[in-house]
Structure 1
């Protein structure tokens, strides 16, 4: 990861924001001028047939890292167009540091609107598309599944048809490791050829989008690459996801709330390493291929809480079950279904020369520091999204009213529930005997 330090801004707007002025998501209060400008570390010989790159969802989390990285790393080779609807989880603050760069343009548009997509592709003579834009928060997909299908499936279809119409030379589709479904502890890491078996509406919509991408490759010879990544974390992530949400809560001296018993694990990749992966795939990836972006850092949700408590110096050595831990970590019911773990094999990408450079300890330290400094002011008032199961209605975020307890909650996996029930019944039978 490379950091280009931005100049501080001492504007009255900043003072107003710090003193509690009500903010909207998209107003510019100058906070971005105080923040470091993060990019990746890779740099390749520019491709002669790539000039104008459109990045959908460019004001969102993962995509904004690539927008900054390509804009600043290849200032004389590539023109970068950030195409974004500016949904609730996006912010122009994520790319405002690029506004004075001649090779950067922001274009507001909706991927589900064919005329807006084609207009952008034609206006900027786009030859390469990175398609990140998607609804991605799994929790929301259980209550708003139609919206996920509309954006993730129909939106991808619109982009593919538009790309076919204008003759795009590269279409790099960003998917997720969740399309593979749950991976058991004893199973091997999954290869790109593994069967897709999504278990929630979000993952299903991403798998469906992949099927469309594949069909356009076969039917129309569209030059595509599909990328399936682990969980990405780091500065600029909207605080509906676990690491920024829990960091912001703890920074407010409020306890965090785990879903279920906190046992599910995820593999985490720092956003700078993810930007390097996408840069590597652009320059070295082969058209028609699929690439997993895999991390080695697999961490359970409850272990993540311990690491955050220690990093934020709230508990010297946070151990689940200790009194100090119970003070800061609460529980609520689990998702309707919560995959225990995902695990993908990233050897194919590593063979292109990419490597994970940021340890989880270093990445978490950078992330926590950023959220402590900027998290409360970057998006406006984030209080409502910090609840365990926030509800999104258009651009509005509402808090939930879910019960919170001091005790881990049972998993909603049916097999596990039956097993636990039988154990309890057997135990009760022995007690009565």
Structure 2
């Protein structure tokens, strides 16, 4: 395999593939790429599952540098044709089944999409000789994070079908680096939140319930703490790694903001109450 010249983001035009680009993080990433690199082509591949929406990218619909293609990353024929026809330079692989509770109901579906789909994408990208393949994983591969600190060298100890499928996909991605020196980067991020997030995740779920005058349901004692990362911070980090990240490395992406779930619910109650009072005052 003869690789293309090493990426230099300050020169030339690139074609960027974002899988899952109609989803929460993927759509924010596409918007940032479009602003930061206005001459680059962006190809968005998404199956348009229940938590994706093209409304997230409506402002890019009629631009010449943006293309949406509906498709399944597990479809080998579709993915091979995509790489053969689009001349892709950089891949951001964001597509995944990600809801932990659903992973217990449909574990084989999570493994199929998250691991098998990643393998299909990897093989096609490898054969096409892309310049960089950035795989977006999760800090859940470390397992239970309560009262523990992890770094990139900590062992993977997934505790649910979702994190197990992501850990398996990581192993596949890393194997292409180990065997072929295929230019990959793996990122592991904590709980991401922000505008346009689907309501199955805790912050938009709680906000939706409160706005409907319903109570927030908390599993367990609510004392379990979680780190939360704003979506614009993770997209900035992804572009930074695209530009300056070391190939073959794993990067944790996180923030210092940590809060117990019960305290999070109380803070969101205040936010909704203050918003309602402001609306009444107006």
TM-score, reference length from structure 2: 0.92
Q: How does 1:163-242 map to 2 (within 5 A)?
A: 163-185=125-147, 187=148, 189-242=149-202
Answer whether contact 1:84 1:109 (CA < 8 A) is retained: yes
Q: 1:51 aligns with which of 5, 8, 14?
A: 14
2 CA distance for matches of 1:224 and 1:282? 10
Answer whether contact 2:14 2:89 (CA < 8 A) is retained: yes
Structure with bigger gyration radius: 1
Answer whether contact 2:22 2:53 (CA < 8 A) is retained: yes
2 CA distance for matches of 1:194 and 1:127? 31
Contiguous gaps of at least 5 residues in structure 1: 1-44, 317-368, 370-433
Which residue of 1 is the match for residue 232 of structure 2?
272
- Given the alignment of the two structures, is residue 93 of structure 1 paired with residue 55 of structure 2, yes or no? yes
Give per-residue Cα distances to partners, 1:243-270, cap 9 Å, x unaligned.
1111111111111111122122210011
Q: 1:308 aligns with which of 251, 255, 268?
A: 268
2 CA distance for matches of 1:120 and 1:50? 19
Q: Which has the higher helix share?
A: 2
Answer whether contact 1:107 1:120 (CA < 8 A) is retained: no
Give per-residue Cα distances to partners, 1:209-243, cap 9 Å, x unaligned.
00000111112221100000011100111111011
Secondary structure in 2 matching 1:313: helix
- Given the alignment of the two structures, is residue 107 of structure 1 paired with residue 82 of structure 2, yes or no? no
Runs of 4+ in structure 1 off by over 2 angstroms are 45-50
1 CA distance for matches of 2:37 and 2:12? 14
2 CA distance for matches of 1:158 and 1:67? 22
Which residue of 2 is the match for residue 160 of structure 1?
122
Answer whether contact 2:32 2:235 (CA < 8 A) is retained: yes
Answer whether contact 2:146 2:224 (CA < 8 A) is retained: no
Secondary structure in 2 matching 1:82: strand
Which residue of 2 is the match for residue 35 of structure 1?
none
Q: How does 1:317-396 map to 2 (within 5 A)?
A: none
1 CA distance for matches of 2:162 and 2:11? 37
Q: How does 1:32-43 map to 2 (within 5 A)?
A: none
1 CA distance for matches of 2:206 and 2:254? 24
Which residue of 2 is the match for residue 255 of structure 1?
215
2 CA distance for matches of 1:138 and 1:306? 23
What is the RMSD computed on CA atoms of the aligned residues? 1.8
Judged with a 3 Å threshold, the aligned counterparts in structure 2 of structure 1 residues 91 and 168 are, in CA distance, closer, same or farther, namely: same
Which residue of 2 is the match for residue 417 of structure 1?
none
Answer whether contact 2:43 2:66 (CA < 8 A) is retained: yes
Give per-residue Cα distances to partners, 1:97-140, cap 9 Å, x unaligned.
11122211111110000111122222211011000000001011
Which residue of 2 is the match for residue 132 of structure 1?
94
Give per-residue Cα distances to partners, 1:266-311, cap 9 Å, x unaligned.
1001111111111111111111111110110111111110110011
TM-score, reference length from structure 1: 0.60
Q: 2:112 aligns with which of 130, 146, 150?
A: 150
Contiguous gaps of at least 5 residues in structure 2: 1-7
Length, aligned pairs only: 270
